[in-house]
Structure 1
Amino acid sequence: MMQRESTMWVCRVPVGTIWTSPEKVREVDAQGVGETVKINKWRESMNEEENHDLTKSNRIQTQLLYGEPVAIDEIEGDWAKVVALWQPSNKDERGYPGWIPKAQLAEIEALNKQGYARVIANKAQLWTLDFKPLLAVPFNTMLPVKETGEYVRVQTPDGDALISAEQVEIAPDYDQVPSGSGVDIAQLGEEFLDLQYFWGGMSSYGYDCSGFSYNLLKANGVIIPRDAHDQSREGQEVDKDMQESWRIGDLLFFSNEEGGWEPHHVGIYFGNGLMIHSPTPGKAIEIIELAGTKHERELCAVRRFVQEEQR
């Protein structure tokens, strides 16, 4: 599976999960590691203890979206050790590392792109060229553009396909999405209220806390690191003790130890002392008031990645 210069390896399922190691996969995870991934059925198959165990046992690292590129470092049986090239991490200077079933990868032609079509809908339908349903892809999926029109022709791991122009925006590259404001970030977050938390989640089938902040900022033109502890070291520092200086769209970081530093959680400031976040397994994305909560006590950093609060 060595990559040729004219090709690239990409995720060939709507959402592919990158694991810490192949040994971390359990029987209950079968719906997440097959050639056909069924995220909703996977989640539904887990009881509360098994869901929490994803977190406690450090099974999942991150996820890939359909068409997202990887570098392959090693093949071991049915598994590939990869680096997610679009997800910055201090674990590897190239991106986020981990293991994924090689059946969830495909080798495609590396295009001289006319840009990327980024999915702006919660889910969007891909169609074959003769308008038969291909598959649904989640929010923030980015596919190389071949031709624009009422339907955009895009390159996919399943060949050329069509997607409604109303469900995408065109960007010159994956990291050149049109810039949004802090208010844009917060308002976009509202579209995912009540979406269940999913450890390692990077899709509109379920986000973890840092996957949520990563994707909201990516959709507004800012690429930040994948994990909360890396995110907390980027951007512009804002005084955490002066809430009046915070702006809507700032990222708020929280430590397990009151007054400590190492973040375990991140949320997005919503204004008026409120935060929107993806909290923990068993809970869903919500807006909360910070005052009087453990989050108020555990706040360890505030970082700004978007300078304009409003457009």
Structure 2
Amino acid sequence: MLQTESTTWVCSVPVATVWTAPEKARPVDAEGITENPNINKWLQEMSREDNKDLTDSGRIQTQLLYGEPVVIEEVVDGWAKIIALWQPCRKDERGYPGWVPMTQLKEVEALTELGYARVTANKAQLWTESFAPLKAVSFNTLLPVKELGEFVRLQTPDGDALIMADAVEIVAAYNQSPRGSGLDIAKLGAGFLDLPYLWGGMSSYGYDCSGFTYNLMKANGVIISRDAVDQSLEGLEIDKYDQDAWHIGDLLFFAYEEGKGNLHHVGIYYGNGLMLHSPTPGRSVEIIELAGTKHETELCAVRRFMKMEDHD
């Protein structure tokens, strides 16, 4: 599995789930771990109890998007132990660790000269060079650019492919999207209202709470840690008791035992006492009033990563 400087291993499917261990995958997860996973079908086949069990049993670590680079540490019985290099995490200084089926990874030429195309649409269609549909890819998918035009030519794990220029923005590197504002964060996040919660979710098929905040920040030029506990230690600390000091786009963090126990949730301040968040299994991205909810008493930190408006 040794790779040279000129190649890199990447995720070769639209969304690959990163498991805590190979044996954590259940029979109901078959559609999620095949060579060509069907994420929608996987989610549909899970009962409410199956979905909740993803959270309770710690089966999933995170997810990878198409073309996202990894380091492979070892391969055991068709499963690769990987590090997700673009997802900061205290578990490993290199990135997020976990296990992925080897069939969902591919070795490609390392290519960065012309930067990346970042998918700005909720989902976008990739086309072969003969304009046959190739794959639908998630929001925030980043693929190396080979040629610009009305259709952008991209390097993908499936060879060269095309994508409509208006479905992407061109960025110099995975962590160099144009810097957005807090208002940009809120507006972008509201575009995912009613998207079902998914434990470990990192795609526009479903986010968990910190996957949602990580991806909104990434799309606006700020790379934060993957997990809420780590995110709560980053950015600028804002007085949690002074709601007038909060800006739209600030991240709100919540802990059990009225804010004194283990941190368990993160959301985005939406202004006027409102929060945008991906709540829990069985529910969807929503905007709620904080007043009168358990969140009001569980608030443990407010962190700022960007100005509220571009001209602040």
Q: Distance in 1 between matches of 2:166 and 2:112?
A: 24
Instruction: Tell me the distance in 1 between the aligned counterparts of 2:187 and 2:212.
Output: 13
Map 1:164-243 → 2, pairs under 5 A: 164-243=164-243
* Residue 158 (structure 1) aligned with residue 148 (structure 2): no
**How big is each residue's C-alpha offset from its partner over 1:245-275, in whole Å with a ceiling of 9 and x where there is no partner?**
0000000000011131531000000000000
Task: Output the CA distance in 1 between the equivalents of 2:303 and 2:167.
Answer: 31
Output the CA distance in 1 between the equivalents of 2:4 and 2:102: 17
* 1: CA distance, partners of 2:201 / 2:72: 21
Structure 1 residue matching 2:40: 3-state secondary structure = helix
Report if aligned partners of 2:112, 2:145 keep a CA contact under 8 Å in 1.
no
CA distance in 1, matches of 2:42, 2:155: 28
- AA matched with 1:22: P
Quote the residue 2:40 is aligned against.
40
Task: Quote the Cα distance in structure 2 between the aligned partners of 1:149 and 1:142.
Answer: 17
Q: Distance in 1 between matches of 2:80 and 2:309?
A: 42
Letter matched to residue 44 of structure 2: E
Answer whether contact 1:229 1:263 (CA < 8 A) is retained. yes
Letter in 2 for 1:218: K
TM-score after normalising by structure 2: 0.98
Which residue of structure 1 lines up, in the alignment, with residue 17 of structure 2? 17
Contact residue 184 and residue 310 of structure 1 kept, 8 A: no
| Preserved contact between residue 10 and residue 107 of structure 2 (Cα < 8 Å) | yes
The SS at the match of 2:54 is: helix
Post-superposition shift, 1:6? 1.0
Counterpart for residue 28 of structure 1: 28
For the residues of structure 2 that align with 1:150 and 1:135, how far apart are their CA atoms? 19
CA distance in 1, matches of 2:178, 2:228: 24
1:145 corresponds in structure 2 to 145
Correspondence 1:77-156 to 2 at 5 A: 77-156=77-156
Rounded to whole Å, the distance in 1 between the matches of 2:30 and 2:214 is 27
Q: CA RMSD in A?
A: 0.8
Equivalent residue, structure 2, for 1:300: 300
Alpha-carbon deviation of 1:112? 4.0
Task: List per-residue Cα deviations over 1:183-207 (Å, max 9, x = no partner).
Answer: 0000000100000000000000000
Tell me, yes or no, if the aligned pair for 1:88 and 1:226 is still in contact at 8 Å. Answer: yes
Distance of 1:37 and 1:253 partners within structure 2: 33
CA distance in 2, matches of 1:266, 1:38: 28
Does the alignment pair 1:275 with 2:246?
no
Count of residue correspondences: 311
Contact 1:64 / 1:84 at 8 angstroms: preserved in 2?
yes
Q: Is the contact made by 1:249 and 1:309 (CA closer than 8 Å) also made in structure 2?
A: no
Q: Structure 1: how far apart are the matches of 2:267 and 2:288? A: 10
Q: Which amino acid aligns with 1:234?
A: E
Separation of aligned partners in 1, 2:188 and 2:259: 31
| 1:254-307 C-alpha deviation (Å, 9 max, x unpaired) | 001113153100000000000000000000000000001000000000000112
1:64-88 Cα distance to aligned partner (Å, 9 max, x none) = 0000000111111100000000000
Unaligned runs of 5+ in 2: none
- Determine the C-alpha separation between the residues in 2 that align with 1:159 and 1:186: 36
Q: Distance in 2 between matches of 1:89 and 1:309?
A: 28
Q: Which amino acid aligns with 1:83?
A: I
Find the aligned partners of 1:54 and 1:78 in 2 and give their Cα distance: 22
Conserved 8 A contact 2:198-2:207: yes
Partner of 2:65: 65
Unmatched tracts of structure 1, length 5 or more: none
Which residue number in structure 2 is paired with residue 75 of structure 1? 75
Measured after TM superposition, the shift of residue 310 of structure 1 is 4.4
Matched letter for residue 52 of structure 2: H
Contact 1:20/1:98 (<8 A) preserved: yes
Could you tell me which amino acid in structure 2 is paired with residue 162 of structure 1? L
Letter in 2 for 1:285: V
Moved over 6 A (4+): none
TM-score, normalising length from structure 1? Answer: 0.99
Q: What is residue 260 of structure 1 aligned with on the other side?
A: 260
